[in-house]
Amino acid sequence: MSAEATKADDGHTKPRADKPTIIRCQDLGRTFWRGKERLDVLEELDLEIPEGSFEALMGPSGSGKTTLLNIIAGLDRPTRGRIEVAGKSLGDLSEAALAKWRSQTIGFVFQHFNLIPVLTAVENVELPLLLTKVPASERKKRAQTALRVVGLEDRMDHRPQQLSGGQEQRVGIARAIVHDPKIIVADEPTGELDRQSADDVLTLLERLNREFDKTILMVTHDPAAAERASVLRKLDKGRLS
Amino acid sequence: MTLVGLSVKNIRRNRLRAVLTVLGVAIALLAFVFIRTTLDAWSTGAEHAAQDRLGTMHKVSFTMDLPRTYFEELDGTRGTVPGVKAATYQNWFGGKHPVREQEFFATIAVHSDTFFDVYSDMAVPPDQLAAWKEDRQGAIVGEALAKQFGWSVGDDVTLLGTIYPGDWKFTIRGIYSATRRAVDRTQFVFHWTYLNESIKDTMPEQTERVGWISTVIEPGARGADVAQAIDAKFEEHDVQTRTMSERALSMEFMGSFGAILTALDVVSGVILVIMMLILGNTIAMSVRERTNEHGVLLALGFRPKHIALFVMGEGLAIGLLGGLAGLCLSYPFINGMGRWIEDNMGAWFPYFQIPIDVAITALLLAMLLAGLAAVIPAYRASRLDVIDALRRIG
């Protein structure tokens, strides 16, 4: 993981003007059908996010935040428009290629942590590496390193039910960074946490952005969380304001 | 951790359910192995029956008897009918223990001079054999029968005649052991002359009659040729004969139970199908509960084929564990019971132990059917939409 970013006076990482664009959406649209009812969740959306930025996406429920996040993360496909992430035009990729691209490029942080309950912390973190050709011993070493980065070196062999919510989310973050992705997408990462744990998680995300130059896109309802990002974007009725 | 390890670890998710599922498979397998062992034991008598021994009986039915003179003629053919080495005759007596009437065992009146020459696989100590030949009312019993009724050499025994009514008194003069696995160790044999002389007044038409004649063929002789020669000898007599090997005779006897055997065969299959359906439902339920986790794995870059393989692996692992547990239950239970069956029902099941091929088949079937049970849940799990799956709260 490389540590290279620009730090502003307020301590936040600011997008650097000289950094290339890592996420580019052009005239993006996403339509869902509920029976015969047409739902245009995203409309004519243009967005450019430079590499190494930490951006928050806010908006009311149903505004299309998670849909946009899913499209950027390669979990969903747009109905219209073009999307390019980390140099790949996602619309051109097959499902298999998209899954492979996701496993290499994106780190996911979920609201409900989504850890596998029968696996220990280190095994959960190791999961994304199972898809690589990294040898088993090296996989374990990397998972242990990721857990040390998030400050859980003393919880490696604990199962999720033996961890607090904040610790579970930190394991989730370790899982998101273990394969050294360029982009971390976080969907309401503090939604299930108390204030203190939420602060710890946000501090960790800031650190990943600042020290390891990870591009972070975070969907949140929490103004305090959004304030920790370097850029705040608001989405309403499928359009960025 | 490996992909296989991840698949197997899912079994530990709900330990109680996993244990109950494995136990369910194990018990279904125990039932399957028991039925298959019963079927195998039933046919063992026929499969291991002596091939060098022929039985000659009435051509119409084995329930009809033959004149004893046939034995004289047959015995007299030694050296003239090619292949005949020794012969003896016997009558089905149909005796019962007067108190324990429900406990069946074969009671046979035999020609004492020749019987143990022909049935050399029933070993009697020489001194006991000599004592028996000297005692007109003497009897020789199988070791399992002696154990069953607590009889010892020298004991006086009274049997209740069913075909030949009355109380029949005997003295146990010997106990035979089996030298081959298919030999019934629960027979009660006594002198044919005792029977023949005893019924002269009450059933004169039954005297000088024998149930069937057994012959041993010379080494190298073809049983079919000898049988044909024997039957040809009596072709012009009033009573024609039918001769076949002991094995063919056993097969024919088994054939009369064909419907029961087929029904048991079907039941053993039905048990496994029911096991498969229950297992399929359990796996489907377990997979449904993990929809969110599968969504997470798909988001992380796992492919639908990985998800399907995880579910299949889980099914196979349950099948393997259930199969091994089933065999661990089967061996002590069935083989333990088998010893009791051999001792008490040796007439039908002279050898009742789990055949190795039944054990291997059962284990493979448990895995195969568990794999099949997982096919539909695996297919459905692999068809998950990642967004929908992630929406399900785990």
CB contact under 8 A, B390 and A75: yes
- Statement: residue B372 has pLDDT above 90: yes
Show which of residues 110-129 on chain A sit within 8 Å of chain B, judged by CB atoms.
110, 112, 114, 116-119, 123, 126-128
- Output the furthest CA–CA distance in chain B (Å, rounded): 97
Q: pLDDT at position B43, please?
A: 77
- Model confidence band, residue A11 (pLDDT cutoffs 50, 70, 90): very low
Residue pLDDT, tens place only, B1-46? 787 888 778 887 888 989 999 999 999 999 999 999 988 887 776 6
Q: pLDDT at position B76, please?
A: 59
Other C-beta atoms lying within 10 Å of the C-beta of residue B350:
24
Q: pLDDT at position B77, please?
A: 53
- Statement: residue B182 has pLDDT above 60: yes
Show which of residues 8-47 on chain B sit within 8 Å of chain A, judged by CB atoms.
9-10, 12-13
A157 CB neighbours in chain B (<8 A) are none
B394 and chain A: CB distance < 8 Å anywhere? yes
Q: Answer with the residue of higher pLDDT: B341 or B107.
A: B107
> Which of B9, B13, B299 has its CB closest to that of A108?
B299
Q: pLDDT at position B49, please?
A: 67
- Statement: residue B162 has pLDDT above 80: yes
Other C-beta atoms lying within 10 Å of the C-beta of residue B301:
24
Domains detected in chain A: 21-240 (3.40.50.300)
- Statement: residue B188 has pLDDT above 70: yes
B85-99, B183-197, B247-261: range with lowest mean pLDDT: B247-261
A100 CB neighbours in chain B (<8 A) are 301
- Statement: residue A13 has pLDDT above 50: no
Residue pLDDT, tens place only, A17-43? 578 999 999 999 999 988 889 989 998
- Model confidence band, residue A1 (pLDDT cutoffs 50, 70, 90): very low
A46-60, B66-80, B131-145, B325-339: range with lowest mean pLDDT: B66-80
Angstrom CA distances, B202 to A149, B169, B189, stand at 105, 17, 22
Tokens of residue B310, six digits: 């995880």
Report the candidate in B358, B338, B333 with the shortest Cα–Cα distance to residue B348: B338
So what's the ipTM on this one? Answer: 0.88
Contact B286, B13 (CB under 8 A): yes
> Which of B2, B6, B13 has its CB closest to that of A136?
B2
- Statement: residue B221 has pLDDT above 90: no
Percent of chain A with pLDDT over 70: 93
Tokens of residue B133, six digits: 């030949």
Q: Is the dihedral of CA A139, A142, A147, A148 positive or negative?
A: positive
Q: pLDDT at position B103, please?
A: 86
Q: Answer with the residue of higher pLDDT: B245 or A54.
A: A54
Angstrom CA distances, B194 to B129, B156, B171, stand at 16, 15, 12
A140 CB neighbours in chain B (<8 A) are 1
Q: How far is it, in rounded angstroms, from Cα A107 to Cα A172?
A: 9
Q: How many helices (H) and strands (E) does chain B have?
A: 16, 13
Beta partners for B215? B54, B87
Q: Which SS3 state, helix, strand or coil, does residue B394 take?
A: coil
DSSP string, chain A: ------B-TTS-B---TTSPEEEEEEEEEEEEEETTEEEEEEEEEEEEEETT-EEEEE--TTSSHHHHHHHHTTSS--SEEEEEETTEEGGGS-HHHHHHHHHHHEEEE-TT----TTS-HHHHHHGGGGGS---HHHHHHHHHHHHHHTT-GGGTT--GGGS-HHHHHHHHHHHHHTT--SEEEEESTTTTS-HHHHHHHHHHHHHHHHHH--EEEEE-S-HHHHHTSSEEEEEETTEE-
Read off the DSSP letter of residue B392.
Answer: S
Q: How far is it, in rounded angstroms, from Cα B292 to Cα B301?
A: 14
Read off the DSSP letter of residue B285.
Answer: H
Q: Is the dihedral of CA B75, B76, B79, B81 positive or negative?
A: negative
Q: What average pLDDT does this structure show over B320-334?
A: 95
B392 and chain A: CB distance < 8 Å anywhere? no
What is the residue whose two structure tokens read 């015995």?
B75
CB contact under 8 A, A99 and B297: no
Read off the DSSP letter of residue B12.
Answer: G
- Statement: residue B340 has pLDDT above 70: yes
Contact B319, B305 (CB under 8 A): no
Q: How far is it, in rounded angstroms, from Cα A239 to Cα A47?
A: 10
Q: How confident is the prediction for chain A on average, in pLDDT?
A: 89
Other C-beta atoms lying within 10 Å of the C-beta of residue B385:
12
Half-sphere exposure of A141 (CA within 13 A, CB side): 5
Percent of chain B with pLDDT over 90: 59
Q: pLDDT at position B390, please?
A: 87
A198-202, B5-9, B301-305: range with lowest mean pLDDT: B5-9
DSSP string, B174-195: EEEEESSTTS-S--EEEEHHHH
Percent of chain B with pLDDT over 70: 95
- Statement: residue B197 has pLDDT above 70: yes
Element (H, E) at B31: helix B15-47
Q: Answer with the residue of higher pLDDT: B388 or B345.
A: B388
Q: How far is it, in rounded angstroms, from Cα B287 to Cα B154?
A: 70
Report the candidate in B371, B334, B374, B313 with the shortest Cα–Cα distance to residue B32: B334
CB contact under 8 A, A119 and B301: no
Element (H, E) at B92: strand B84-92
Q: What average pLDDT does this structure show over B379-392?
A: 89
Residue pLDDT, tens place only, B49-82? 667 889 999 999 878 999 998 888 876 555 567 7
Q: pLDDT at position A4, please?
A: 35
- Statement: residue A79 has pLDDT above 60: yes
> Which of B3, B9, B292 has its CB closest to that of A114?
B292
Residue pLDDT, tens place only, B88-141? 999 999 999 999 988 889 999 999 999 999 999 899 999 999 999 999 999 999
Q: What average pLDDT does this structure show over B302-316?
A: 92
Q: Which SS3 state, helix, strand or coil, does residue B211 take?
A: coil
Contact A77, A42 (CB under 8 A): no
CB contact under 8 A, A102 and B299: yes
A70 and chain B: CB distance < 8 Å anywhere? yes
